[in-house]
Amino acid sequence: MSEAGEGGAPAARERIGVIGAGYVGLVTGVCLASMGHEVTLRDIDAERVASLDAGRVPIYEPGLAEVMAEHAGRLTYTLSLERMLERSDIIFIAVDTPPTYSGDADLSRVMGVVEELERVGADARHVLVMKSTVPVGTGERVRAELDARGLGQVGYCSNPEFLKEGAAIADFLHPDRVVVGSFAAADGDRVAALYAPLGAPIVRTTVPTAEMVKYASNAFLATKISFINEIANVCEEVGADVAVVAHGMGLDSRIGSAFLRAGIGFGGSCFPKDVSALKQLAGNSGYHFQLLTSVIEVNELQKRRVIGKLKKHLGTLEGKRVALLGLAFKPETDDMREASSLVLAARLLAEGAEVSAYDPIVDISSDRLKGVTMSASAEEAVAGADAAVLVTEWTSILAMDWAAVRPTMRSAVVIDGRNALDPLEMTRLGFTFEGIGRIPAHVGVPS
């Protein structure tokens, strides 16, 4: 990889600090190092810092370990905020902002960072760059807090991340757009210059607008998913095939084909949290965001629809064995946050079913999977089962020899929760097969 990134002129070499070596912070730091900058990552978790120092990546993200190793000479990991501050001028904040009980985002970690900056004496050469997803208005709060603490010289920008887990390196280095919101144009210039070599459009704006771009983007993508899921449910009633419907819709360039895959709902650490935070934010400002209320509700119901499909084929689920194939909220990640598999497993157990499960990388000791029997392979999970549910479309699971496993099942029912298997082929192999809003394909189904 060239140090200039993929696009225009190389950026000046900057001294970058990153607070929080979690998913977003680590990817940001490693990618900026790959573009030629000196990067110091600071985390409060000693085990994590030790692991990074030893060259071990504490999260699962394809390609990250390789880029990290290649640019190890420009990456420093530390527990000390003082050390990070000494070594850096532009400081990315990438701490987490989990939802609170009220659905608002918890900003205590972000505000904790500001407090620490006062203690260690940040100054005029420092620009803070907010990467964490924070509610609209947070930048103004942080700005006021900095000013109140005598840190008026410290710059502040909002630079939201648009990284998809599993494709984060490519998303960082080949972004569709970069958004930079600033209070002072000079601070925005410094941050925008970091991204100039990537050749992507850079949207320069105010801090609240930049914060809103992030929420609106995630909320819109989530809306697209809930929309196509409802179309799928109607397709089931009228005998239409949602895969063809989505294909036909997506060819309209105003609609676009992305995020029109019907299934058992969206999960992960971002969509559910951000959609409810935006709804909450609107509510707190006196506006009832009706559409998002439905997006959330449709998603919750969608996760449970599989139960109805199983009952249709098996009758009562009491004593029946159901295999869940894939547990992570999507393939190429070990992330189980808000995964549909958790709701499904709990519902199945509540119905008295036995649940076996397989995932290529999810930690099988997870407390949240209590009562679920973990298998070493998809084949083992399915053997002896009354039904199998494809929950996460891992390539290795899709590629299983379905013809060979069919005779090992007690009854050959397969529910494809991700519309990733070919209905015609599965029916031909002798399975009682159902997708989400699909009919056995005859014509025009995209591959």
Q: What does the binding site for ligand UGA look like in residue numbers (CB under 6 A)?
A: 133, 161-165, 218, 221, 225, 259-261, 263, 266-268, 270-271, 274, 329-330
Q: Which is nearer to ligand UGA, 4 or 445 (CB)?
A: 445
Instruction: Say how far residue 327 (Cα) sits from the centre of its chain.
Output: 14
Q: Which is nearer to ligand UGA, 214 or 320 (CB)?
A: 214
Tokens 């527990």, residue located? 79
CB of 241 to ligand UGA, least distance (A): 16
CB of 291 to ligand UGA, least distance (A): 17
State how far the Cα of 340 lies from the Cα of 268, in Å rounded to an integer.
Answer: 9
Is 23 exposed, middle or buried, given 0-12, 13-18 or 19+ CB atoms closer than 10 A?
buried
Cα 174–359–441 angle (5° rounding)? Answer: 75
Render 64-102 in DSSP notation, one character per residue: HHHHHHHTGGGEEEES-HHHHHHT-SEEEE-----B-TT
CA distance readout (Å), 389 to 88, 395, 412, 413, 419: 49, 15, 11, 8, 11
Q: Which is nearer to ligand UGA, 178 or 314 (CB)?
A: 178
Q: Which is nearer to ligand UGA, 188 or 265 (CB)?
A: 265
CB of 206 to ligand UGA, least distance (A): 21
CB of 221 to ligand UGA, least distance (A): 6
CB of 338 to ligand UGA, least distance (A): 8
Q: Is 37 within 8 Å of 73 (Cβ atoms)?
A: no
Question: Residue 11 carries which DSSP code?
Answer: P
| H/E element, 206 | none
Q: Is 85 within 8 Å of 120 (Cβ atoms)?
A: yes
Q: Which of 31, 157, 235, 270 is catalytic?
A: 270
Tokens 């000479």, residue located? 73
CB of 233 to ligand UGA, least distance (A): 14
State how far the Cα of 347 lies from the Cα of 8, in Å rounded to an integer.
Answer: 52
Q: Which is nearer to ligand UGA, 90 or 225 (CB)?
A: 225
Q: Point out which residues pair with 389 in neighbouring strands.
A: 324, 415
Question: Residue 139 carries which DSSP code?
Answer: H
State how far the Cα of 155 lies from the Cα of 70, in Å rounded to an integer.
Answer: 31
Q: Which is nearer to ligand UGA, 209 or 257 (CB)?
A: 257
Using alpha carbons only, how large is the chain's radius of gyration in Å?
24
Render 276-331 in DSSP notation, one character per residue: HHHHHHHHHTT---HHHHHHHHHHHHHHHHHHHHHHHHHS--TT-EEEEE--SSST
Q: Which is nearer to ligand UGA, 78 or 195 (CB)?
A: 195
Q: Which is nearer to ligand UGA, 88 or 159 (CB)?
A: 159
Q: Is 225 within 8 Å of 265 (Cβ atoms)?
A: yes
Cα 45–51–52 angle (5° rounding)? Answer: 90
Q: Which is nearer to ligand UGA, 167 or 346 (CB)?
A: 167
Residues in the chain: 447
Listed in sequence order, the DSSP H helices in 87-206 are 108-120, 138-148, 168-173, 185-195
Output phi, psi for 333, to 5 deg: -150, 155
Q: Is 55 within 8 Å of 68 (Cβ atoms)?
A: yes
The answer to whether 31 is a known catalytic residue is no
As annotated, the active-site residues are: 270
